[in-house]
Amino acid sequence: MTSKDVAHYIEVEGIEKLVNKYEKYFEQVDKWSAQFVEGDLLDENELSYALQQLTGAYQRFHVIASAIDDYKTNQELNFKVRAYRKAEEDGKKATISQIEEEARHSTSLLRTHRGNFLSYAEACEKGIISCQAKLKRTSVESGAKGIDFKGDVNSPAAQQHKQEQKPDVGW
């Protein structure tokens, strides 16, 4: 989803519908988070799957958060311009600080949802780093034991590695 798509979606459907559209991805991240907390991610295949899902969610969340931020900034600027013009038409002096605060207030919901997308993107990023570290450690440990990625100790490569690791007693 591009920035233009996000802006269009917010204008046509509303920010709440955008958030609801991505609810399943928030739930996915929460599910993986619970598995990290419970220490339940030990299998290489599951770690790879978590890495894949968290990476995809991160990409979506990051792009959407940035697009919401751009949209929010534009809305605040438009609000300020309209407020200054209205004050000018009414022959009043515009109070800059008041207009600034009103502009910020007008985009508070956008700021809240942008923060949620950013928080989940950061959570994904931490999960990605953890998955990568665990996969690397598991791969190194498996290699040292002569076990391939799937854990097959009966593979020809694992058997050859096992034979090579036997000490030569030679007496």
Q: What is the per-residue pLDDT for 138?
A: 79
**CA 151 – CA 143 distance, rounded (Å):** 10
Domain boundaries of the chain, sorted by first residue: 3-165
The closest of 106, 121, 97, 98 to 73, measured between CA atoms, is 106
**C-beta separation of 117 from 68 below 8 A:** yes
CA 126, 128, 132, 138 torsion-angle sign: positive
**129: pLDDT strictly greater than 50:** yes
Q: What is the per-residue pLDDT for 165?
A: 46
Q: Which residue has the tokens 């399943």?
A: 24
**CA 6 – CA 19 distance, rounded (Å):** 11
Q: What is the per-residue pLDDT for 169?
A: 47
Q: Which residue has the higher pLDDT, 95 or 157?
A: 95
Distances (CA, A) of 73 to 68, 100, 110, 168: 9, 12, 10, 71
Q: What is the pLDDT of residues 69-96, one digit of tens each?
A: 999 999 999 999 999 888 888 888 878 8
**C-beta separation of 125 from 58 below 8 A:** yes
Question: Residues 23-43: what's their mean pLDDT?
Answer: 90
Q: What is the per-residue pLDDT for 88?
A: 86
Q: What is the per-residue pLDDT for 7?
A: 92
Question: Residues 43-56: what's their mean pLDDT?
Answer: 92
Structure tokens at 4: 């233009």
Distances (CA, A) of 162 to 137, 145, 159: 20, 8, 5
CA 141, 143, 147, 150 torsion-angle sign: positive
CA 63, 64, 69, 75 torsion-angle sign: positive
